[in-house]
Chains A and B, each alone.
Chain A
Amino acid sequence: MTMNPPDLITILIVGGIGLVAIGAVGMAVSRHLLRLVLALALAEAGVNLLLVLAGYRWDAVAPILTGAAVTRPMVDPVPQALVLTAIVIGVGVQALAVALMIRVREAYGTLDIRELKTRVEQDICGAAGIAPPESANAPGGSQPYPVPVTTSRESA
């Protein structure tokens, strides 16, 4: 490797930050639930890379003792253990997200966020017995609640 070590670190840091930024754009822009989870996984990979880099020393070796005497310094083992935890938890989060996605697809037949939003709103309004919302400022229309008062007045 002819590259100067500090240059290599710069490239790795820019790569990690780039992954985080690409993941953030993906999460904000994508309209498909699966792509959203994939973008989250990309951002997570970038964060893990940055965490490992936080404990990296360009003149050091991996923190594993071999038979030979230790002549060079070792990198920080604590961020590596933290990233091990982060990866495992990331797998758990993604598995749970995919499981929920399977159920959403079964219930609505689509994974498009905008379509899902209108369908879920219709379902909620239908269950509550009110008209679908006309704007975000008045989610239940001009009269949000059904009128329960008339019957009690008549009996009294």
Chain B
Amino acid sequence: MHKLASLLFAMGLAALLIGLATQLPLGMTPMGVGQAILERAPGETGSANIVTSVVLAYRGIDTLGELAILFAAATVAGLVLAPSIHAESQARTKPRDDAGLVLRAGSDLLFPLLLAVGFYIVLHGHLTPGGGFQGGVVLAAAFFVSFLARPARQPSHVGVVLIEALAGAAFIGIGLAALLGGGAFLQPLLDQGTLGQLVSAGSLPLLYLAVGLKVGAELSGLLAHLAE
């Protein structure tokens, strides 16, 4: 009975969504805001990737809120998973199995490659698909792989928290610098440079670097908590 009701509900939901979708001009979107952004973004931000202009320049405060949500989720997960007082003695005495030779050698090989790819994706966020969030996840994966291969060698929690805090402060600091310069909060700063060059688009690559470091530190801390 319960299953029948939920099936009926899902069918109704699908019928409603399909009914809505047939009414919309999908595939030939009118794009009111989008068209204006496409026309103005290259001149205003100097970023070749227009999605990056939207994420960091036109919706910068939104991205700050997104970072705050991610921070809250990581903090609460760490709080929930913090070892309780009576469980701590058991967890500490339990010996950790070292991973095999293959995994250790593979992680040593992968670590610099993952770091390079991660920083490449972060630093080219204003030129190519990618950016701080995507590259940050790759950076977190780099540290998590080495953590999985050597469970005994804990990553330093203080270092992770420090990187996270400094990156978050840098993001807000760049926003405040724009405010001091007489512009709006998180307005793009600095020289725009030539479109398509690595050093271009003003402060957007710096913002994305802060985002990448913050996301990488948060996710690696979160994954380490989950693995413990």
Q: Which of A23-31, A130-138, A141-149 contacts B (4 or more CB under 8 A)?
A: A23-31
CB atoms of A88 and B133 under 8 A apart: yes
Q: B9 in the interface, Cβ–Cβ < 8 Å?
A: yes
CB atoms of A28 and B76 under 8 A apart: no
Q: A69 in the interface, Cβ–Cβ < 8 Å?
A: no
What residues on A are CB-neighbors of B69 within 8 Å?
Answer: 88-89, 92
Q: A54 in the interface, Cβ–Cβ < 8 Å?
A: yes
Interface string of B182-217 (1 = CB under 8 A from A): 000000000000011000000000000000000100
Interface string of B130-151 (1 = CB under 8 A from A): 0101000000000000000000
Q: B28 in the interface, Cβ–Cβ < 8 Å?
A: yes
CB atoms of B37 and A56 under 8 A apart: no
Once A92-B74, A98-B226 are accepted as A-B contacts, the answer to whether A85 and B81 lie under 8 Å apart by CB is no
What residues on B are CB-neighbors of A108 within 8 Å?
Answer: none
**Main SS class of interface, A:** helix
Q: Which of B58-66, B114-122, B163-171, B173-181 contacts A (4 or more CB under 8 A)?
A: B58-66
Q: How far is the CB of B198 from chain A (nearest CB, A)?
A: 14
Q: B93 in the interface, Cβ–Cβ < 8 Å?
A: no
Once A29-B3, A78-B37 are accepted as A-B contacts, the answer to whether A88 and B66 lie under 8 Å apart by CB is yes
CB atoms of A25 and B34 under 8 A apart: no
Once A9-B26, A57-B28, A78-B34 are accepted as A-B contacts, the answer to whether A99 and B129 lie under 8 Å apart by CB is no
Q: Which of B13-21, B96-104, B105-113, B154-162 contacts A (4 or more CB under 8 A)?
A: B13-21
Once A25-B7, A81-B54, A98-B226 are accepted as A-B contacts, the answer to whether A14 and B26 lie under 8 Å apart by CB is no
CB atoms of B222 and A77 under 8 A apart: no
Interface string of A62-73 (1 = CB under 8 A from B): 111111000000
CB atoms of A78 and B6 under 8 A apart: no
CB atoms of B27 and A9 under 8 A apart: yes
A42 CA to B154 CA, complexed, in Å: 33
What residues on B are CB-neighbors of A67 within 8 Å?
Answer: 196
CB atoms of A64 and B29 under 8 A apart: no
- Of chain B, the residue at the smallest CB distance from A67 is B196
CB atoms of A64 and B31 under 8 A apart: no
A96 CA to B62 CA, complexed, in Å: 21
A53 CA to B74 CA, complexed, in Å: 30
CB atoms of B70 and A21 under 8 A apart: no
CB atoms of A102 and B81 under 8 A apart: yes
Q: B55 in the interface, Cβ–Cβ < 8 Å?
A: yes
Q: How far is the CB of B126 from chain A (nearest CB, A)?
A: 10
CB atoms of B54 and A89 under 8 A apart: no
Q: B123 in the interface, Cβ–Cβ < 8 Å?
A: no
3 A-B pairs closest in CB distance: A28-B6, A92-B73, A76-B34
User: What are 6 A-B residue pairs whose CB atoms fall within 8 Å in the complex?
Assistant: A57-B27, A63-B51, A64-B127, A74-B38, A92-B74, A95-B226
